[in-house]
Amino acid sequence: VPQKPWFYDLREVWKGYPIQSMLPSQYWYYMIELSFYWSLLFSIASDVKRKDFKEQIIHHVATIILISFSWFANYIRAGTLIMALHDSSDYLLESAKMFNYAGWRNTCNNIFIVFAAVFIVTRLVILPFWIMHCTVVYPLDLYPPFFGYYFFNFMMVVLQS
């Protein structure tokens, strides 16, 4: 995916839309991500109830809806960018948890600091100011808004919230 022009030039995300080809790597990325979030949604029912239980349910459902909708509406390029952006910090959080459970406090704390920095940059700067700008503004240069445009961007706001 990084060698594709739409990975760097966000206007390229919409070039040729709605008829865009899908790479095998994008297909598998979608299948793995969707399976992962369905598993999280199912496993949360048997997990220890935390105080953010409702927020997790909303997040997982919104993510499943976004992934599914971007698949069906052929928003594959935008979806791939959004998933990659979210995944860039997730593995750091899971690594910090793993080291915490292992009792490696210093390693856990250091990884958590890196996680916090990556999370802030990707989810609070890049996602709202570049990616959401790409999904809200650039499509309007090419086609009139339709239900899917509004729905996708509304769900992005829910996920961001």
**Per-residue pLDDT tens digits for 87-126:** 999 999 999 999 999 999 999 999 999 999 999 999 999 9
Mean pLDDT along residues 82-90: 93
pLDDT of res. 48:
81
**Per-residue pLDDT tens digits for 46-71:** 888 888 888 889 889 989 999 999 99
**Per-residue pLDDT tens digits for 127-157:** 999 999 999 999 998 889 989 899 999 988 8
Considering Cα of 157, then 149, then 19, then 134, what sign does the dihedral take?
negative
Task: List Cβ neighbours of 1 (8 Å cut-off, separation of 6 or more).
Answer: 7, 23, 25, 26, 29, 80, 84
